[in-house]
Structure 1
Amino acid sequence: MNGKFSPRSPEDVAAFVRAQMLGLVISNGPQGYATTPLPLLPHTDEAGAVIEFFGHFARANPQVGMVRDRPRALILFQGPHAYIPPAWVSAPGWAPTWNYALAQFEVDISLLPEENDRAIAELVNALEGQASGAWTVDTMGDRYARMLPHIVAFRARVIRSDAKFKLGQDESDTAFAEIVDALGETPLSRMMRDARP
């Protein structure tokens, strides 16, 4: 990865995706585009690069039919972002900008209804963890088994990916400190500090 706004490593992109979790799955069909926000679990290779996403659609979602006919889709994750006005920076002539983080993945989606139970189990584990008192599907009783046929699991194999973390890496030390101070303790300011060379 190179370029001043590129993530430092594939692991940084995977960590970003895990932190955001809710991705926009975008498909194109004969009637145009469809987008569904979905929590997605990334799977990585030995180098830490995201190679696949695991998730599920509601079976009634019209996008399921689109994916069945045309498996190629785009998955987008947007992180914290904000307008950065010149009033925050003491440097004369400094122009406004927008700081943000974005990762996009071109994918091929395979619908796998036989993995419905696993998709829910992995998602619940990721969100609830193993701590005492964590919610489990067992608390739903018979309703869980009745719910499963109303979803369809999928795996989205990554064909191509790109990420841009525009987080003030090109700012002077003074301007960077002023921007972070003006933002306060926010997800964006934390991400900016983490990305600073």
Structure 2
Amino acid sequence: MNRFAPRYPGDVARMIREEVLGLVTTHDAQGFITTPLPLLAELDDVGEVRALIGHFALANPHFARARATPQAQISFFGPHGYIGPGMVSKPGWAPTWHYRLAQFEVEIDLRPEASDAAIRALVEAMEGAGEGAGEGAWTIEQMGERYARLVAHVVAFRARVIRASTRFKLGQDEDEKSYGEILAALGDSALARTMR
């Protein structure tokens, strides 16, 4: 097994929940185009990501290009950071970069009939709304009539995963002492929490 592979089932899905914003990249005769979009993972029975759910604004030129050429790559990245020699007491130690990356080769299926459901699912995921929501969670209903106008200007999509690749380079190649020193130097940062 690759030492930089995620260690536990559900690590990639957890990363997507934490990062949310993915980079959707397509390529056609006009070249590459990338749009950052908030995305939710659809999981299979064992917790692997089988699709990503999101939406394009109709005004985004990427929408028409994805409709014509639906093959895409979606990437999630972070947290990441420079790990300098000053963090480690080991003589001759060289700097490195720690990061977490998940990439998916996908086929985008535009689903205009699912736009309302996709937006509601995203809002509920971000706000903690829905069944058993805490007091003060924002809901779409608070937009009133404006919501119908907004949802008319987006198109949901389901990006079916064809192939996935991940690399969680988070200090697995360090000895125990150096690893502990790096964690201590990073403090309570997002990168340190991810390494733990």
- State TM-score, norm by structure 1: 0.95
Structure 2, unaligned runs of 5 or more:
none
- Count residues with an aligned counterpart: 192
The equivalent residue for 2:59 is 60
Specify the SS of the correspondent of 1:126.
helix
1:2-151 pair list within 5 angstroms? 2-129=1-128, 130-151=133-154
Kept in 2: contact 1:23–1:38 (CA 8 A) = yes
C-alpha displacement at 1:134, in angstroms? Answer: 1.1
Q: In the alignment, residue 100 of structure 1 is paired with which amino acid?
A: Y
> 1:6-49, CA deviations, whole angstroms, 9 ceiling, x for partnerless residues?
10134111111111111000111221111111110101111110
SS in structure 1 of the partner of residue 152 of structure 2: helix
Q: Secondary structure at the match of 1:135?
A: coil
The 8 Å contact of residues 58 and 152 in structure 1, kept in 2 or not, is answered as yes
Pairing 1:160–2:163 present: yes
| Aligned equivalent of 1:173 | 176
Give the Å deviation of 1:183.
Answer: 0.9
Residue by residue over 1:106-125, the C-alpha shift from the partner in whole angstroms, topping out at 9 and shown as x without a partner, is 00001111111101110111
SS in structure 2 of the partner of residue 90 of structure 1: coil
SS at match of 2:117: helix
Give the % identical residues. Answer: 55
Root-mean-square deviation over aligned CA pairs: 0.9
Gaps of at least 5 residues in structure 1 are none
TM-score by length of 2: 0.95
